[in-house]
Amino acid sequence: MASAFLTAVRQHGWDPALPATAVFLPGDQPRRGEQLPRALAGHVMAQVEDPANLARQRDPARRLATLILIRCGLRVSDALRLPFDCVVTDDNGAPYLRYYNHKMKREALVPVDEELQALISEQQQRILERHHSGTVLFPRATKNPDGRMPVGSPTYRLGLYRWLADCDIRDEHGQPVHLTPHQWRHTLGTVLKGRGVASDATFCSSREHALPAAQRAALRCPRHAGRAARLR
């Protein structure tokens, strides 16, 4: 940031007296301190993915959004803005979730398992029964007569934290767990890294429609995050 600021000063002529030698070199700035991994512990994921706890999310759309975040590793903003037709298949019939990565400004694909594919199909049917057409997979419930507006992140997060409290999710010390949806992304990345799956294969570009069979199988393993984490 400091180097970019000095460049802007020269470009715009804000300070003609600034010497040409006034620059920041890579070694001039302190290194960022290392942070602890943000992946969730295996016993926490075991509680989150317990079928009885998942059933406590009585809204099937919210439950589906949670499963997509856990199994696909999307950012919450990308998941909630999924289009209605978000599942595509490759030449072998393997299903992928197609979404727009707003941070990277590109479409991407991530493999999904058959259970998640079926749950997405059920959500699509519910939308058609209510709106007769679909634009987004998770339309918000109010002030949205045509179903074109997606549910907001604050709305989902509020429901998520209520659900976690209702399930009484606790850490290894018996304390209530406070987690963020983004930690599921870190958890999935950690698990797949342990399996030897490259990060660029986890969230592949839409131009790379098919993955090698071994990587696709690793990514599409049902409930892979929690089960693999519990084996660590």
| pLDDT tens for each residue of 118-144 | 999 999 999 999 988 889 999 999 999
Between these two residues, 150 and 33, which has the higher pLDDT value? 150
Separation of alpha carbons 163 and 25, rounded Å: 48
What's the CA gap between 43 and 170, in Å, rounded?
A: 9
The one-letter code for the residue type at 18 is L
How much is the pLDDT for 198? 63
What is the b/e burial string over 82-103, where b = at least 16 CB atoms within 10 angstroms of the residue's CB?
bebebbeeeeeebbbbbbbeee
Residue 78 or 191, more confident? 78
Look at residue 33 and tell me whether its pLDDT is greater than 90. Answer: no
* Domains in the chain with CATH codes: 42-140+150-231 (1.10.443)
**Mean pLDDT, the chain, integer:** 84
12: pLDDT confidence band, cut at 50, 70 and 90? confident
pTM, entire model: 0.75
